[in-house]
Structure formats: structure tokens, C-alpha cells
């Protein structure tokens, strides 16, 4: 999809902008599924204040979407209208603080946070080594794996809202439940503070190695994201998918993984439409066989082609 170029007008209205603002930027190569159309405009702010300035001066009718590691999204083939905000190296710092605390920018990958905590002798964050993606997404969806969840370790998060206000949210403010946060949708998280506990680096390393081995044994190496569907109450999504006969099911070059059938994979040149159609087919078959409505865990964003 070809979007109108809104970047010149935005730059004119924001003469003090310091970050990079680019028109019609491809997103597929940075998405884990390797699919999707372009961003109408892509903004990479320098810091919180730059992001705040941008948001304060952005016209209210221009939609905004934040995109982190793109490890848990299907970017639809038509691309994303408005502005996509990506937090890059400027939001990639990690600092160790007293009391076994770790402060991290939301541009940091989950596994890097786990490694930094390990190197500082801080236990309790090693579960992040098994989660694909970045800290921004972890905050938004209460990411968790291997016995830990974000809600268990977060002290507070900082972000910028649609009006450009820099705000701080306590753990309670985040309203966490399974794979969900009730924090305002318009907030772009920029930083988080985590609480760990004293630990032995060798012991933590052993735990992270065990997580890595379990991931390798149970999760496909292809172009994919994390788990496609949330586990329903009292059940396992993969078991319902398997029972519905969907293991190995394909639409175009999108396939339900034969290794772990709650993963969809791009086995070639799949489109976003292929992947989303496959997911909806799985949902329909599971509903027909079990009566359960599976809920997407992967976010689907953007416009159809």
C-alpha cells in the first residue's frame, strides 16, 4: 500500500525534533515473521524528552503505534498508517541499582536483561532469557515463561502518553493479569525498574542454560513468534490445537508447527494474510471440536493489503 507522505509536514511543525523521522519505511525485515507492509512514517526518538516533544506536537488525527522487537506481532500486508514509533539504541541502557534492582530501557531485549542481572549476581529475572522480544512488549503484555511473569518482578515503569506527558506507573497501576496489562493503551513505555534477589552467577547461568535447552527442544527455529494463542482457563492451547487435527496444517507458506502446534511458522514466502488466515482456521477448528474460543496472544496490527 502506498501511503501519502506526511513526514515533511510533521517536520515543519516540529523544528526542535532530534530523533529520526522517515517516510514509508519497510517493517518486514525487522519482524520475526518477516512479513508485513511499510510504516507510513517511522519515528525513532533520541530520548524521553524528544518523544514527549513529538507527541505534544503530533496532530490528534494522526494514529500512533509503538513497535518494539516485533517478536509477537503480525504486521498486516497493507502496512501501518500514521506513525510507528520504534525505541532503538537510545533506549538500550541497563543499570544495576542498590537492593538487587535492575533499571532497563524498553529497547533492551529480554534475554539481555536476564544476562545483565546474572552478571551482577541478581536472581529472579532469568525467566526473561526464554522470552523472545523486548522489555517494552514484556511490560505491555505481562510477558512470562518458565515459572516467572513480569508482574512478579516489576517495581515501576515509565512512559510517554499521547498528550506528551511523561508518566510513572507502579506495579499495581499496570493492572496485570495473564498476558495482559490494563495500563492506558496510548502510553509508550520507555523504562522499567525490576526487583531481583541475591544469587550466585553460576547457579543463574545453569538455570538459563536449562531454559535455553527446553526452548530448543520444544520451539521451532523457523521464522515465527512466540505462542500464538493464550492458554484458556484450566487448559493448554496446544493440546486443543492438536486434538483439532491442526498440527502441520498449512495456508500458503504459513504452517502450524509440527514441533509445537501453538506456534505458527513462515516456511518460505508466506504473507501476513497467510499467517492470519491460518490462525483463524485453527481457531475455528478448535471451536468446532472443543467449544473453546482460543484468544490470540500474538498481536495483529496494520491494514489489509
Residue 179 among the catalytic residues: yes
Among residues 115, 179, 283, 285, the one annotated as catalytic is 179
Using CB atoms within 10 Å of the CB of residue 284, give its burial: 0 to 12 exposed, 13 to 18 middle, 19+ buried: middle
Q: Is 129 helix (H, G, I), strand (E, B) or coil?
A: helix
Among residues 71, 90, 227, 257, the one annotated as catalytic is 227
Q: What is the DSSP string of 34-100?
A: ----EEEEEEE-SSHHHHHHHHHHS-TTS-EEE-SS-SSEEE-TT-EEEEEE---GGG--EEEETTT
Residue 303 among the catalytic residues: no
**Overall size of the chain counted in residues:** 305
Residue 90 among the catalytic residues: no
Question: Reduced to 3 DSSP states, what percent helix, strand and coil does the chain have, rounded to the nearest 5?
Answer: 30, 25, 40
Compute CA distances 226 → 93, 116, 203, whole Å: 25, 23, 26
Annotated catalytic residues are 179, 227, 297
Amino acid at each position: 500500500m502506498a501511503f501519502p507522505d506526511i513526514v515533511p509536514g510533521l517536520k515543519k511543525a516540529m523544528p526542535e525534533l532530534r530523533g529520526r523521522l522517515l517516510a514509508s519505511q519497510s517493517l518486514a525485515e525487522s519482524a520475526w515473521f518477516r512479513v508485513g507492509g511499510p510504516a507510513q512514517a517511522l519515528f525513532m526518538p533520541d530520548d524521553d524528552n524528544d518523544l514527549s516533544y513529538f507527541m505534544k506536537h503530533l496532530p490528534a488525527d494522526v494514529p500512533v503505534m509503538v513497535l518494539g522487537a516485533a517478536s509477537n506481532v503480525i504486521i498486516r500486508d497493507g502496512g501501518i498508517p500514521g506513525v510507528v514509533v520504534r525505541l532503538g539504541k537510545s533506549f538500550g541502557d541497563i543499570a544495576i541499582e542498590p537492593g538487587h534492582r535492575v533499571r532497563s530501557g524498553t529497547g533492551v531485549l529480554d534475554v539481555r536483561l536476564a544476562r545483565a542481572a546474572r552478571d551482577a549476581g541478581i536472581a529472579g529475572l532469568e525467566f526473561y532469557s526464554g522470552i523472545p522480544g523486548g522489555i517494552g512488549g514484556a511490560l505491555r503484555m505481562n510477558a512470562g515463561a518458565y515459572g516467572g511473569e513480569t508482574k512478579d518482578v516489576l517495581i515501576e515503569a515509565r512512559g510517554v502518553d499521547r498528550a506528551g506527558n511523561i508518566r510513572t506507573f507502579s506495579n499495581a497501576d499496570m493492572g496485570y493479569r495473564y498476558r495482559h496489562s490494563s495500563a492506558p493503551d496510548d502510553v509508550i513505555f520507555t523504562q522499567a525498574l525490576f526487583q531481583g534477589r541475591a544469587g550466585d552467577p553460576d547457579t543463574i547461568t545453569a538455570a538459563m542454560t536449562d531454559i535455553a535447552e527446553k526452548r530448543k527442544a520444544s520451539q521451532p527455529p523457523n521464522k515465527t513468534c512466540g505462542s500464538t494463542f493464550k492458554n484458556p482457563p484450566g487448559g493448554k492451547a496446544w493440546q486443543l490445537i492438536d486434538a483439532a487435527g491442526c498440527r502441520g496444517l498449512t495456508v500458503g507458506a504459513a504452517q502450524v508447527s509440527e514441533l509445537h502446534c501453538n506456534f505458527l511458522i513462515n516456511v518460505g514466502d508466506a504473507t501476513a494474510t497467510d499467517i492470519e488466515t491460518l490462525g483463524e482456521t485453527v481457531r475455528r477448528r478448535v471451536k468446532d471440536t472443543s467449544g473453546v474460543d482460543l484468544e490470540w496472544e500474538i498481536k495483529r496490527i496494520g491494514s489489509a493489503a
